[in-house]
Amino acid sequence: MVRRVRSLSIALVIALVSSVLSGQQPKQKRQPYVAPLLPAEQAWKVSLPAPPAAAAVMDDHTIYVPLEAISRNGEDGPVTAPAKLAAVARDTGETRWTEPIASDQPPVLAQGALLVATASGILAIDPVDGTRMWSVTLDQRVRAPMIARGGLLLAMLEGDDLIAVNLERRSIAWRRSVGESGPLFLTTDDQAVYVATTAGNVSRIPLSGGSPDWERRLSTELSEPTVDGGQLFVGSSANLGSLWALDVRNGKDKWVWRPGRIGAVVGSVVQGNDLYVVSNDLIIRALNRTSGNQRWKQVVGTRPVFPPRALAGVVAVVGYSPTLSTFTTDGGKAVSSWPGPADALLQGPPLIDEPKPFAVSIVLVFRDGQMIGLRSTEMLFREAAVVPLTVLPGRALARETLPGDPSAR
């Protein structure tokens, strides 16, 4: 038995030495892919003919932004223009079309139409040329950003009514009172719409239009919620922030971060099994979505102003200065940042797509009417510039002579 063990040990040593001598190296851990969103360069910059009235929306080719009406005194006299909806080319920043449509809410892209909230209802527009397609008349104005899900357009009206517009039938499918007339946020999954209010209430209403499944008061003002995989994540925007993970079936706590552990929560995003949360203590945190345990935290160096965005291997934070920063989802290492124009405030969150070769992947709209398109520098595949050689490569060699060569004497 002892001989057999010794023989096995000797064989293992020989195998190890042979692998080293043969140049074999241990396998290295494969590094996760990190979307090269930043650094980015400016592809174009334009000045809109009027300040934006609300946040923009973007598809693969065009950015759609509602503009305010103009009424001011110019050098040559009064300048007036009606409110408009403008379509701007994503690759160049050139205006594709404008239509005299007034709206103070972000438009929504759904089922091949651009859906716009006007003073009298919902207007569906052809995104290609701005042609009016159909409309639904409402008795109250839309007062919060709309969302589309499962063939429905969900809109909160002045007062406390939430409506669902059936996009195929082009009519109101249902209307429900949510008992809240103050500021609120909407989010949705495939089964229900969730309402979180700055008064501290949260509720779940089925997309089928039935009575609320549950309502709950969380005792403090709330920030924009996130729903994913059977959990609703909602934070407090009070100075002593809190963070809840609720079971969407019954509204009960799955886990809670109590006041004082986190600053006022601005927003969150889910990627895989992780929840990324930004707060006004200038920190981004990565939490285990199931338990709430903190995986890592990182100082972002700016006050976040919108919920973060998650792409492959990277999470983007939107702030005052710098305007946009990215961090790896695996460990929170800072990747890069984009400073943005000085003293310019965003009108809505940046429009962000996964970076593609030579394409504009980030569009930012500012309240002063500036609009900027950015493209990833790593996706431009630039080669190093060709420069002339000043010195020949290599080294000088002494002249070799053969034995008996007369010239060597």
The domain limits of the chain are 218-347
Per the confidence metrics, is the pTM higher than 0.75?
Answer: yes
What pLDDT, on the 0 to 100 scale, is given for residue 383?
75
The enclosing H or E element of 197 equals strand 192-197
Per-residue pLDDT of the chain (409 residues; tens, 9 = 90+): 444 545 545 554 455 445 544 555 556 667 778 999 999 999 999 999 999 999 999 999 999 999 999 987 777 777 789 999 999 999 999 999 999 999 999 999 999 999 999 999 999 999 999 999 999 999 999 999 999 999 999 999 999 999 999 999 999 999 999 988 899 999 999 999 999 998 999 999 999 988 899 999 998 899 999 999 999 999 999 888 999 999 999 999 999 999 989 999 999 999 999 999 999 999 999 999 999 999 999 999 999 999 999 999 999 999 999 999 999 999 999 999 999 999 899 999 999 999 999 999 999 999 999 999 999 999 998 876 667 777 777 777 777 766 766 665 5
The enclosing H or E element of 72 equals strand 70-74
Contacts of 274 (CB under 8 A, 6+ apart): 286, 287, 288, 289, 295, 329
Task: Provide the CATH topology of domain 218-347.
Answer: Lipocalin (2.40.128)
Alpha-carbon separation of residue 320 from 63, 311, 323 (angstroms): 23, 21, 5
Alpha-carbon separation of residue 249 from 149, 162, 187, 228, 230 (angstroms): 19, 20, 15, 12, 8
